[in-house]
């Protein structure tokens, strides 16, 4: 099947053509079945074609398929924002706006913090990923392939080490780097915000150090600087609770949402302190498709299903299975390339590394191919693309999860 009409600048991990899916399983056009440990790169926490979401989409499509909210408001947008702001676990009054994607949420957040602070500089972190739009590219903590050949990017943006037990960077080291940044590179009074992922996605499922998160929150408060939490991949139950920032004991000023917000329908959001969200002049925020009625209906159905009880059960079950199998593989010396287990909850990565600790990127490429042939879809992450990110739907049936882990085990044994 020809792909000549599709830009060759789009990188494809698995050269197959999918036909349909149900929960954690997908089938290609040849009829081959795969267990899906990618989940649309974190979009399908409720799996493929969740019946509650599908019913909501179908019903909304018979009533109103589209209206631009800034031209004339519609009830799905209003109802969703009421539900969504109530779903955010913070103590302050919340408001927000809907976007088409996570990257668009990040772009709008940058406008919001500039308007609120009168400052332009942003501090991001090594290994970060916030999108592929021009402004978000500069936030990303990795050059290849995202920043190559695109010239000067919007800024100013500065990067700090991302402290995590998963990468060996300590809180003290990150704070020392921050002190140097503000001593040598930029006046803290010129900084509008810090933007950080509570658990890095593209960076390799690295969980942020709790001590650093709390120190960063204090620093922002003391210096009138805003804190943005990017929960686009870690949110909506991925770590076993609504959002990953809660485990850190902090409240961000703005939160970026996307991916699993609407069960597979394109949608994103920026939510946060009401005073911040209201600071731009009327017309400063909005968009033609932002908050499309069908997407809003899908998101409302998603929130119906994502009760705290469900999230806890799903997250604990998946975490237990992954950790149990990983520990058994380590005890068995299953593969000389089996490295660390990263992340928290059901947001887990498995590192492939050589004996000296250097990334085993070649072996991960081999693993992707072996797993695909065995009927398992995996996705790489990490600076060297050497960490498998496990993003099976939270709703995956236990037997299917174990079958997928069996396939992964068999493929790990074959690495050379």
Q: Using one digit for the tens of pLDDT, what is the confidence trace for 244-295?
A: 999 999 999 999 999 999 999 999 999 999 999 999 999 999 999 999 999 9
Note whether 252 and 265 are same-domain residues. yes
Distance CA 134, CA 106 (A): 11
Q: Which of 287, 305, 323 is the last residue of a domain?
A: 305
Determine, yes or no, domain membership for 31: no
**Integer angstrom CA distances of residue 20 from 26, 35, 44, 336, 372:** 6, 12, 14, 36, 16
Domain that holds residue 119: 53-305
Q: Pick from 329, 120, 105, 328: which is nearest to 228 by CA?
A: 105
Give 156-168 pLDDT, tens digit per residue: 999 999 999 999 9
Same domain? 251 vs 393: no
Q: Are residues 236 and 171 in the same domain?
A: yes
Q: What is the mean pLDDT of residues 225-251?
A: 97
Are both 241 and 368 inside the same structural domain? no
Q: What is the CATH number of the domain that holds 189?
A: 3.40.640.10
203 and 242 co-located in one domain: yes
Mean pLDDT over residues 293-299, rounded?
98
**Is the same domain home to 185 and 254?**
yes
Q: What is the CATH number of the domain that holds 352?
A: 3.90.1150.10
Predicted local confidence at residue 278, as pLDDT: 95
313 and 300 in a single domain? The answer is no
Q: Are residue 193 and residue 265 in the same domain, yes or no?
A: yes
pLDDT at 136: 86
**Tens digit of pLDDT for each residue in 104-162?**
999 999 999 999 999 999 999 999 999 998 888 888 887 878 888 777 767 899 999 99
Q: Whole-number mean pLDDT of the chain?
A: 96
Q: How many domains does the chain have?
A: 2
Mark whether 271 and 408 lie in a shared domain. Answer: no
Q: In what order do the strands lie in the sheet with 338-344?
A: 338-344, 347-352, 387-390, 379-381
Last residue of a domain, one of 290, 305, 320: 305
Rg of the chain (C-alpha set): 21
Strand order in the sheet with 94-99: 94-99, 268-273, 254-257, 226-230, 191-196, 121-125, 157-160
**pLDDT class of 4 with cuts at 50, 70, 90:** confident
**19 part of a folded domain:** no
pLDDT at 1 exceeding the cut of 70 = no
Determine the pLDDT at residue 160: 98
Residue 325 has pLDDT above 80, yes or no: yes
Does one domain contain both 218 and 252? yes
Same domain membership, residue 285 and residue 137 = yes
Domain boundary among 281, 305, 329: 305
Helices 361-374, 398-413: crossing angle, 10 deg rounding: 130
Phi, psi dihedral angles at 196 (to 5 degrees): -150, 145
């Amino acid at each position: 099947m020809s792909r000549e009409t599709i830009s060759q600048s789009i990188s494809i991990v698995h050269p197959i053509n999918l036909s349909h899916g149900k929960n954690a399983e997908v089938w290609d056009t040849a009829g081959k079945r795969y267990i899906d440990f990618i989940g649309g790169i974190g979009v399908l926490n409720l799996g493929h074609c969740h019946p509650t979401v599908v019913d909501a989409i179908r019903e909304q499509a018979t009533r109103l398929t589209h209206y631009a909210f800034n031209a004339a408001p519609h009830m799905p947008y209003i109802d969703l924002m009421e539900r969504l702001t109530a779903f955010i676990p913070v103590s302050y009054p919340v408001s927000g706006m809907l976007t088409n994607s996570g990257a668009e949420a990040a772009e709008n957040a940058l406008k919001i913090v500039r308007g609120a602070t009168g400052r332009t500089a942003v501090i991001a972190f090594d290994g970060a990923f916030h999108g592929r739009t021009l402004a978000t590219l500069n936030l990303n903590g990795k050059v290849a392939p995202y920043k190559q050949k695109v010239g000067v990017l919007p800024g100013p943006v500065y990067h700090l080490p991302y402290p995590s037990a998963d990468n060996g960077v300590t809180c003290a080291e990150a704070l020392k780097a921050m002190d140097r940044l503000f001593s040598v590179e930029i006046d803290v009074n010129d900084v509008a915000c810090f933007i950080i992922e509570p658990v890095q996605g593209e960076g390799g499922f690295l969980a942020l150090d709790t001590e650093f998160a709390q120190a960063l929150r204090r620093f922002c408060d003391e210096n009138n600087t805003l804190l943005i939490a990017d929960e686009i991949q870690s949110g909506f139950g991925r770590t076993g609770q609504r959002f990953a920032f809660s485990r850190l004991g902090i409240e961000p000023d703005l939160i970026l949402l996307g991916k699993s917000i609407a069960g597979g329908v394109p949608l994103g959001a920026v939510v946060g302190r009401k005073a911040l969200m209201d600071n731009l002049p009327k017309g400063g925020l909005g968009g033609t498709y932002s908050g499309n009625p069908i997407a809003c209906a899908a998101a409302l159905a998603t929130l119906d299903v994502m009760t705290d009880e469900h999230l806890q059960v799903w997250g604990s079950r998946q975490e237990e299975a992954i950790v149990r199998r990983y520990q058994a593989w380590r005890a068995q010396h299953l593969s000389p390339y089996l490295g660390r287990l990263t992340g928290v909850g059901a947001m887990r990565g498995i590192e492939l590394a050589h004996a000296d600790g250097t990334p085993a990127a070649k072996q991960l490429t081999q693993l992707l191919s072996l797993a695909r042939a065995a009927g398992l879809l995996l996705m790489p992450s990490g600076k060297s693309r050497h960490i498998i990110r496990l993003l099976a739907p939270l709703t995956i049936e236990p037997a299917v999860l174990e079958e997928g882990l069996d396939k992964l085990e068999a493929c790990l044994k074959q690495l050379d």
